[in-house]
Structure 1
Amino acid sequence: MSRRIYWLVPDLASARQVTNDLLLARVTERQIHFVGREGMDLSGLHVANVLQTSDVVRAAQVGLLIGGITGAAAGVAAAVWFPIVGETPQWGIAAVLAVLGGGFGAWASSMIGISTPSGRLRRFEGAIEQGQILMMVDVPQARAKEIEALLKASHPEARFEGEEPNIPAFP
């Protein structure tokens, strides 16, 4: 189980130094993600990707659920009222339409979600717009307190902003 730790750092030099300290503490670069305001130069830092900065994953999950339910309902109606062969309902059409509806719903919703900023990052928008840099560190639960203590001791300019317990494995 991983935890995501949020920190706000005041500038690029501080962000680079924090990265170096984390690398020395055996936190890999792919576990460290940075978000800055639009157009900010974050060269030398591991910039957060679209999965971490948008609502694409949550939107796809909701679309899969709604599309699957809608497809299943349409499939049941088609199986009962419009049987393909004979008078008995063909329930396979319900399963096929549920899968197709879920796939279409996930795809359509993810197209919307990719352009929507992450709800998890909304609380940091003001600080990011003022020029601060958001750092997200994904660490095993057993190391979370150790990493927090390391950063608090070595970087008083950085501000701890909390942690999130449930981090998906893939983003």
Structure 2
Amino acid sequence: MRRLYFVTHSIDDAERLVTNLQHAGLSEWRIHGLSQDDAALYHHHIHPAHLFQRYDLIHLGERGAMIGFLVSLLWATAIHYANVIPGSFGIAETAFTIMFFTLFGAWTGGLVGITRINYRIARFQQDIAEGACLILVDAHRRQERQIKSWVTKAHPDITLAGSSSTFTNPFSRAVKKAPESPHSPKII
């Protein structure tokens, strides 16, 4: 699956886009909106972006789990070879230590992530603060080109701002930027 990011000038433009995408056969559950006013999205029949799309909970939770796993391996190796607790640090204790540190890292990363804007939508915050609406469309790869083409033809005032995978990459920092077109309107 791919996630397409469209920036509209107003909530009314967003509603027209969402309605047309639904009439074209795209499920309403694969289209989400992000604006300053979630109530306006609701009144315009646009599903607001959910917690995992708004915040970096999953992204930083995965990073935390990886860091916790690495720390647990270092800890277990150090305890084993230092022989701090002679004969009592076996396989069960090692497995518990690895599990504990990994889960603690995921929990800590998730706590940090819930306080941060999702790394994929952070660059749209200025546009949203200025009244724009961000529409997130999840599409299969085979539909991606067709949706991009159709939206740019049917809605020339709506900007395709980028695309990314729907899967979270804990090593990734930013969403792929859409190529600039001389006909694409800019939100200033």
4+ residue runs over 6 A deviation: none
Q: Distance in 2 between matches of 1:132 and 1:10?
A: 5
Count of residues paired in the alignment: 164
In the other structure, the counterpart of 1:68 is: 69
Q: Distance in 2 between matches of 1:139 and 1:158?
A: 18
Q: Distance in 2 between matches of 1:47 and 1:83?
A: 56
In the other structure, the counterpart of 1:83 is: 86
Q: SS where residue 67 of structure 1 aligns?
A: helix
User: Is the Cα contact below 8 Å between 1:76 and 1:91 reproduced in 2?
Assistant: no
* TM-score between both structures, scaled by the size of structure 1: 0.88
User: Is the Cα contact below 8 Å between 1:19 and 1:32 reproduced in 2?
Assistant: yes
In the other structure, the counterpart of 2:56 is: 55
* Cα deviation code 1:22-54 (max 9, x no counterpart): 111111111111111256621221100110111
Q: SS where residue 3 of structure 2 aligns?
A: strand
The one-letter code of the counterpart of 1:27 is L
In the other structure, the counterpart of 1:110 is: 110
Q: How does 1:18-167 map to 2 (within 5 A)?
A: 18-37=17-36, 41-43=40-42, 44-79=45-80, 80-85=83-88, 90-164=90-164, 166-167=165-166
Q: Percent identity?
A: 23
Alpha carbon RMSD of aligned pairs, Å? Answer: 1.8
The one-letter code of the counterpart of 1:46 is H
* TM-score between both structures, scaled by the size of structure 2: 0.80
User: Is the Cα contact below 8 Å between 1:83 and 1:90 reproduced in 2?
Assistant: no
1:3 Cα deviation after fit: 1.0
- Note the residue ranges of structure 2 that are not aligned, 5 or more in a row: 169-188
The one-letter code of the counterpart of 1:31 is R
* Cα deviation code 1:65-87 (max 9, x no counterpart): 111121232223334321354xx
